[in-house]
Structure 1
Amino acid sequence: MRIAVLAYDQISPFMLSTPLLVFGEPALAGGHRIDVCASQRRLSAIGGLTLQARYPLKTAREADVVILPGWRDAAEPVPADIVAELKAAGAREAIVVGLCLGAFGLAKAGLLDGLRATTHWAFADAFAARYPKVAVDPGALFVDAGQVLTSAGVASGLDCCLHLLARIAGVGEANRIARHLVVAPLRGGGQPQLLERPAIGSSADRRVSELLAALRANPASAPSLDELAERAGMSRRTLTRHIRARTGGSLGEWLKHARLARAQELLAAGARGLEDVAQRCRFPDAHALRAAFRTELGVTPTQWLALQRLD
Structure 2
Amino acid sequence: MAVPLVAVVAFNHFSPFHLSVPCIIFGDLLHNQKLFELKIYAEESGPIRSNEGLSVKSSLSVEELAQADIIIVPSWRDPAEKPNQIMLDAMVEAHARGNQIVGLCLGTYVLAYAGLLKNHKAATHWEFEQDFINRFPDVELDCNALYVDDDRLITSAGTAAGLDCCLYLVRQRYGSVIANKLARRMVIPPYREGGQAQFIERPIPVSTQDARINKLLDYLRNNLNKMHGLDELASYSMMSRRTFTRQFYKATGMSVGDWLLIERLQRSQELLESTSLAIDTIAEQVGFHSTVSLRQHFKHRFNVTPSEWRKTFQGKFPRLASVELA
Q: Spell out structure 1 runs of 4+ moving beyond 6 A.
A: 238-241, 251-254
Percent identity over the alignment is 38
**Structure 2: which 5+ residue stretches go unaligned?**
202-275, 283-290, 310-326
Counterpart residue number, 2:145: 140
Counterpart residue number, 1:129: 134
- Any idea what SS the aligned residue of 2:172 has? helix
Counterpart residue number, 1:9: 12
Q: 1:3-52 deviations in whole A, cap 9, x for unaligned?
A: 11111111111111111111111336243211111142520112122222
Counterpart residue number, 1:54: 59
Superposition pairs of residues 98-247 of structure 1, within 5 angstroms = 98-188=103-193, 190-192=195-197, 194=199, 235-237=278-280
- Relative to structure 1, the CA distance from residue 140 to residue 177 in structure 2 (aligned partners, 3 Å threshold; closer, same or farther) is same
Tell me how far apart the structure 2 counterparts of residues 45 and 7 of structure 1 sit (CA, whole Å).
Answer: 10
Tell me how far apart the structure 2 counterparts of residues 158 and 179 of structure 1 sit (CA, whole Å).
Answer: 13
Q: Are 1:9 and 1:43, in contact at CA under 8 Å, matched by a contact in 2?
A: yes
**Structure 1: which 5+ residue stretches go unaligned?**
197-232, 255-311
- Any idea what SS the aligned residue of 1:113 has? coil
Tell me how far apart the structure 1 counterparts of residues 143 and 28 of structure 2 sit (CA, whole Å).
Answer: 33
Tell me how far apart the structure 1 counterparts of residues 75 and 102 of structure 2 sit (CA, whole Å).
Answer: 10
- Relative to structure 1, the CA distance from residue 4 to residue 193 in structure 2 (aligned partners, 3 Å threshold; closer, same or farther) is farther
- Relative to structure 1, the CA distance from residue 236 to residue 109 in structure 2 (aligned partners, 3 Å threshold; closer, same or farther) is same
Tell me how far apart the structure 1 counterparts of residues 81 and 193 of structure 2 sit (CA, whole Å).
Answer: 30
Q: What is the Cα deviation at residue 56 of structure 1?
A: 2.8
Alignment match of 2:99 (pick from 61, 70, 94): 94
Q: Are 1:118 and 1:140, in contact at CA under 8 Å, matched by a contact in 2?
A: yes
Counterpart residue number, 2:40: 36
* Structure with the larger RCO, 1 or 2 (CA within 8 Å, 6+ apart): 1
Q: Are 1:41 and 1:56, in contact at CA under 8 Å, matched by a contact in 2?
A: no
TM-score normalised by the chain length of structure 2: 0.60
Q: 1:194-245 deviations in whole A, cap 9, x for unaligned?
A: 169xxxxxxxxxxxxxxxxxxxxxxxxxxxxxxxxxxxx973448999xx89
Max Rg structure? 2
Counterpart residue number, 1:266: none
Q: Are 1:61 and 1:85, in contact at CA under 8 Å, matched by a contact in 2?
A: yes
- Specify the code of the residue in structure 2 equivalent to 1:171: S
CA-based RMSD: 2.9
- Specify the code of the residue in structure 1 equivalent to 2:69: D
The number of residue pairs the alignment matches comes to 216
Counterpart residue number, 1:219: none
Q: What is the Cα deviation at residue 78 of structure 1?
A: 1.9
Counterpart residue number, 2:21: 18
- Specify the code of the residue in structure 1 equivalent to 2:89: A
